[in-house]
């Protein structure tokens, strides 16, 4: 069983990573923070169930996914209606391109979006993604491939439309 000190180390080690995943899922900072906080609260309550400390990362992601699902069951979130030019960032990145990528990822069906985010943001292998989602490794690979193809088609389709407009 995890001690409070061990659990505190887990929170410090994984909170930023879990927040990044939650934020990409919902695109709302406060909701992502709440989801991560609730994830750690549930993990603390269920810490006795954790058999293998090496499996803590997938365990936390599973709890986070369940928390996100609970939220979506209660309330369907609306998309951010602001234009990319209305949003500001101080780090000098290409905001319109980043916004477009986020929107395209958000449009993916959850069955494709989740594995993609788990691999890109979480660094999970296909086997770990499959275990976490309760599917086989081959199915995880297939979903990742389909997610990338859908993004590529959408991205190239929008690029073609912009070229035709010019």
| Beta carbons within 10 angstroms of residue 156's beta carbon | 10
How far is it, in rounded angstroms, from Cα 127 to Cα 141? 9
Task: Say what the pLDDT of residue 146 is.
Answer: 94
Task: Say what the pLDDT of residue 28 is.
Answer: 86
Q: Does the model's pTM come out above 0.85?
A: no
Burial class of 114 by CB neighbour count within 10 A (0 to 12, 13 to 18, 19+): buried
Yes or no: say if 26 and 68 are a contact pair by the CB < 8 Å rule: yes
In the chain the domains, ranked by start, together with CATH numbers, are 1-78 (1.10.1740.10), 88-166 (1.10.10.10)
How far is it, in rounded angstroms, from Cα 150 to Cα 70? 27
Each of the 166 residues of the chain gets a pLDDT tens digit; together they read 678 888 888 889 999 999 998 888 888 899 999 999 999 999 999 888 887 878 888 889 999 988 888 877 665 544 445 555 555 544 556 667 777 778 888 888 888 998 998 888 888 889 989 988 899 999 999 999 999 999 888 878 765 555 555 5
Task: Say what the pLDDT of residue 77 is.
Answer: 43
How far is it, in rounded angstroms, from Cα 48 to Cα 7? 12
């Amino acid at each position: 069983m995890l001690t409070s000190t061990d659990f505190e180390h887990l929170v410090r080690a994984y909170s930023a990573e879990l927040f990044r995943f939650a934020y990409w899922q919902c695109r709302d900072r406060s909701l992502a923070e709440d989801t991560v906080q609730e994830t750690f609260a549930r993990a603390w309550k269920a810490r006795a169930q954790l058999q293998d400390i090496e499996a803590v990362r997938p365990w936390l992601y599973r709890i986070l996914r369940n928390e996100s699902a609970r939220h979506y069951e209660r309330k369907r979130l609306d998309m951010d209606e602001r234009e990319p030019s209305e949003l500001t960032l101080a780090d000098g990145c290409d905001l319109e391109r980043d916004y477009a990528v986020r929107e395209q990822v958000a449009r993916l069906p959850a069955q494709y979006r989740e594995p993609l985010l788990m691999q890109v943001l979480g660094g999970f292998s296909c086997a770990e993604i499959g275990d976490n989602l309760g599917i086989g490794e081959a199915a995880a690979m297939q979903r990742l491939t389909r997610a990338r193809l859908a993004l590529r088609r959408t991205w190239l389709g929008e690029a073609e439309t912009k070229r035709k407009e010019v």
